Structure 1
Amino acid sequence: MSTPTDFPEPTLVRVNGVELEVFEAGRENAGKPIVLCHGWPEHAFSWRHQVPALAAAGYHVIVPNQRGYGNSSRPADVADYDIEHLSGDLVALLDHYGYEDATFVGHDWGAFVVWGLTLLHPNRVNGVVALSLPYQERGEVPWIESMEAVLGADFYFVHFNRQPGVADAVLDEHAARFLRNLFRKNQPPAPPQPGMAMIDLARAETPLGEPVMSDGELAVFISAFESTGFTGSINWYRNLDRNWRLLADADPVVRQPALMVYGDRDTVLRAGRLTEFVPNVEVVGLDCGHWIQQEKPDETNRAILEWLAGRAAARGASGTGVGALR
Structure 2
Amino acid sequence: MSTFPPPTFIETNGVSLEVFQAGSGKPIVMCHGFPEHAYSWRHQIDPLVEAGYHVIVPSQRGYGNSTAPEAVVDYDIVQLTADLAGLLDHYGYDDALFVGHDWGAIVVWNMALLHPQRVAGVINLSVPFMPRGTMDWISLWEQFLGPDFYMVHFNRQPGVADAVFDANTENFLRNMYRTRHWLEAPPELGEGMALLNVATADSMPGDLLMSEEDLQVFVTAFEHSGFTGGINWYRNLSRNWQLLEAAPEQVLCPALMIHGDHDMVPPLENLAEFVPQVEVVSLECGHWIMQEEPQKTTDLIKQWLLQHYPA
Q: TM-score when scaled to structure 1?
A: 0.92
Distance 1:270 1:93, change over 3 A: same
Distance 1:67 1:312, change over 3 A: closer
> Does structure 1 residue 38 correspond to structure 2 residue 32?
yes
Large movers: runs of 4+ above 4 Å? 189-193
- The Cα of 1:77 is off from its aligned counterpart by 0.2
CA contact (8 A) 2:17 2:58 kept: yes
| One of 119, 126, 142 as aligned partner of 1:148 | 142
Query: Matches of residues 65-214 of structure 1 in structure 2 within 5 Å?
Result: 65-187=59-181, 188-190=184-186, 194-214=191-211
- Change in 2 beyond 3 A, CA 1:84/1:312: closer
Distance 1:118 1:231 in 2: 26
Deviation sequence 1:294-314 (CA, Å, 0-9, x none): 00000000100000001146x
SS at match of 2:262: coil
Mapped pair 1:256 → 2:250: no
Aligned to 1:317: none
Question: What's the offset of the Cα at 1:194?
Answer: 3.3
CA deviations over 1:58-103 (Å, ceiling 9, x no partner)? 0000000000000000000000000000000000100000000000
Amino acid at match of 2:145: L
Cα 1:152–1:246, aligned 2, differ >3 Å: closer, same or farther? same
Distance across 2 between alignment mates of 1:189 and 1:297 = 25
1:216 matched to 2:210:
no
Task: Please give the secondary structure, in 1, of the residue aligned with 2:99.
Answer: strand
Percent identical: 57
Shift in Å, 1:207: 2.6
**For residues 228 and 62 of structure 1, what CA distance do their matches in structure 2 show?**
21
**Counterpart-to-counterpart distance in 1, 2:51 and 2:194:** 40
Amino acid at match of 1:259: L
Separation in 2, partners of 1:92, 1:227: 24
Residue type at the aligned position of 1:132 = S
The residue number in structure 1 matching 2:302 is: 305
Tell whether the 8 Å contact from 2:185 to 2:205 is kept in structure 1 after alignment: no
Residues 1:64 and 2:61 are matched in the alignment: no
Amino acid at match of 2:39: F
Q: 1:249-298: CA deviations, max 9, x gaps?
A: 01110000000000011010010110000000011100000000000000
Contact 2:129-2:271 at 8 Å conserved across structures: yes
Gaps of 5+ in 2: none
2:109 corresponds to which letter in structure 1? W
Q: Give 2:263's match in structure 1, choosing from 238, 262, 266.
A: 266
1:193–1:107 CA distance, 2 compared to 1 (3 A) = farther
Cα 1:78–1:101 shift into 2, 3 Å: same
1:240 to 213, 226, 237: 237
Letter of the structure 2 residue corresponding to residue 296 of structure 1: E
**Whole-Å Cα distance in 1 between the matches of residues 101 and 51 of structure 2?**
20
Q: Which secondary structure does the structure 2 equivalent of 1:126 belong to?
A: strand
Q: CA deviation at 1:36?
A: 0.2
Secondary structure (helix, strand or coil) at the match of 2:223 reads helix
Deviation at 1:206, TM superposition (A): 1.8
CA distances 1:134-165 after superposition (whole Å, capped 9, x unpaired): 00111100000000000000110000000000
The residue type paired with residue 114 of structure 1 is V
Letter of the aligned partner of 1:146 in structure 2? L
Unaligned 5+ runs, structure 1: 314-321
Q: Which amino acid aligns with 1:47?
A: W
Q: Report SS of the residue matched to 1:268.
A: coil
Contact 2:13 2:86 in 1 (8 A): yes
Query: C-alpha separation between the residues in 1 aligned to 2:15 and 2:151?
Result: 26
